[in-house]
Structures are given as structure tokens and as C-alpha cells.
Amino acid sequence: MFKKKPKYNVAIVGATGAVGQCMLRILEERHFPVSELRALASERSVGKKVKFQGREVPVGELKENSFSGIDIVLSSAGAERSKIFAPAAVKSGAVVIDNTSYFRMDPCVPLVVPEVNPEDIFKHKGIIANPNCSTIQMVVALYPIHKAVGIKRIVVSTYQSVSGAGQTAINELCDQTKAFANGKEIAVKKFPYQIVFNLIPQIDVFLENAYTKEEMKMVNETRKIMHDDSIQVSATCIRVPVFYAHSESVNIELKKKLTAFEAREILKKAPGVVVVDDVQHGVYPMPLDAAFKDETFVGRIREDNSVPNGLNLWIVSDNLRKGAALNAVQISEVLVKSK
């Protein structure tokens, strides 16, 4: 059982990465009650320092004995590292909020988006899984509609920024942009193809069913978070030359009729959602507007004229914040505020 305290010893695993850095900023911005901050990363990052609350914190090497005295671990270290180090942290007495894919579909591990299923947090046995970034923003927007009338089917196409692939991907888009502008040869390293001025319809590896692993994450995670295995989900995930914020074109088939006006009214009251939808004046969400913000923005809400009970939505959210770091911190906030 999680022990309530005035302040908590917190470890950030993967502290030097894009998500780890974002976790540090959000803990500070939201005044999370941190007593000790322990920054952990791989051996190659030892000796570096990260900034937290106006001071520099040295980065320690991630080891199985790194978690003595730690209450909460926020981890973005990669699935294979989480496999080893998350159980070690739990054994030391910590609760681990893991941002990797390793534990997400484990039936003993809750998969949580606080706006959707906060009650699942308290079913944990030491590990709580953070969902995939593209899944998080979609269910934040769709769950209020599902709760109102029920969703039968979801067809989603994602337009995912390079930051979803980490700092090296951000650097690659920067480098390729400069090379293109200066007429130099474009180096391709992180992605399978040039990303600048291009779209790549593949994120992660292809599976036997011809969907990618990223696409099947959206299928399986959506059902688990929303506690409804009957929802049919089909996803196509695309990498786009945008630095921050993922966009999604989502078509849903409902169990009952819901007008676009009714959907807007539901979403206006939904936690974590901001409706940006005035097409007559060219107002709709864009990645530039969502970057570095915490909310999930929804627009282009319209009825699907091809089916009786269909809606189309355009959903945009910062993948490093709500899609990763913020969601993990929000889970921690629910933990520490519990009685």
C-alpha cells in the first residue's frame, strides 16, 4: 500500500532523455512535493547534470540497487531496461510509473489515463503503466463520448511528430532541414527514410497482420483503458516532419445518434479537453498551437455522412507532455492525494 507523506523521494529514470527532461520540468511547474530528486540514466550519461528547482542534480548510473529510499519512480528508460529495473524498484519499496511498452498489456498492471480511469491506479501491485502517447490523447477526447452514448468502432490516422522518437529524432529533423536549405546531402540515421519534407507511413516494426506495433498499441491499449473489448479499432500511424505534438484524424461509429453540436457540448465539459472548432473562421487545432501545452485540443467536429451514427474529430496534443511526462506526473498526483 502506498504510504502517504508530506514530501516524496522521486527518481527519474532516463533523466537526460526528452521525456525525462520533460518530467523534471512538469514536477517543478506543478509543485509536486519532492523531498529528494534522484536522476538516473545509462552509464554514458553519468557525470552529466540536470536542472531541478534551481539547482543542478548529478546523474547517477541506473542499477538495480539505485532505488533505496525512493517512494516514486518515473521511468522512460526503454522496455528492456524497465523489464529489469522496475521490479527492482518495487522490491526496494517504490511505486513505479513506467512510460515504456513493457508492462502495458500485463493484466496485473493498471494502464492509466487519469481523465479516464483514475480508479485503476489503486489496483497496482507496485507498477502502473503509462499508455502510448497517441493512445493517451485519443482516449482523453473519446472517453466522454463513449460514456455518453457508447462507441462501436474507431478508425484513426495519426500524424506523429519526431519528438515521439526521442532527442536523436529531433536532432535529425533539425540537421536535415539545415542540409536541405543549404543544398547539402541529407543524412538519414534515425528514421528509415528522409523525414524533412516527407511523411513516413511506418512507426515501429510491421507485424504479421501488416499493422505496425505502434498501430496495435492503439488498438489494444484503447480497449484496456476504456474497459471495453467490444470496441473495434483500426489505426494507421504516420511520422511527419513536425517537432512537437501529435495530430490525429479520428472517425467513430457510435451506438446511438449524437449530433456534432451535442458532441461539442460534451467535450467542452470534459477534463483535459479544449474545443477549438470554428471552421467558418479557420479555427481548428494545429501542432504549433498544442506544443508545450498540457491540454488535448479537439476540432473539426462533424457528423459522418456515410453512416447513421458517425462522427469525425481532429485531435492534437503535445506528445512529450500529455502523451508521456504529464500523464505520469498526474498519476503520481492521484497517488499522493489519496487517503
Task: Please say whether the dihedral angle defined by the alpha carbons of residues 77, 326, 288 and 297, taken in this order, is positive or negative.
Answer: positive
Examine the residue annotation and report whether 133 is marked as an active-site residue of this protein. Answer: yes
CA distance 270 to 21: 28
Catalytic pick among 22, 133, 146, 237: 133
| Alpha-carbon distance values, 12 to 24, 59, 60, 127 (Å) | 8, 10, 10, 15
CB 318 within 8 A of CB 163: no
Report the DSSP pairing between strands 246-254 and 232-239. Answer: unpaired
Task: Please say whether the dihedral angle defined by the alpha carbons of residues 38, 39, 45 and 47, taken in this order, is positive or negative.
Answer: negative
CB 197 within 8 A of CB 180: yes
Examine the residue annotation and report whether 146 is marked as an active-site residue of this protein. Answer: no
CA atoms within 13 A on the CB side of 206: 5
Catalytic pick among 22, 124, 146, 246: 246
Q: Report the side by side order of strands in the sheet with 232-239.
A: 232-239, 151-160, 246-254, 310-317, 296-304, 273-275
CB 317 within 8 A of CB 295: yes
CA distance 149 to 258: 8
Catalytic positions, written as ranges: 133, 246
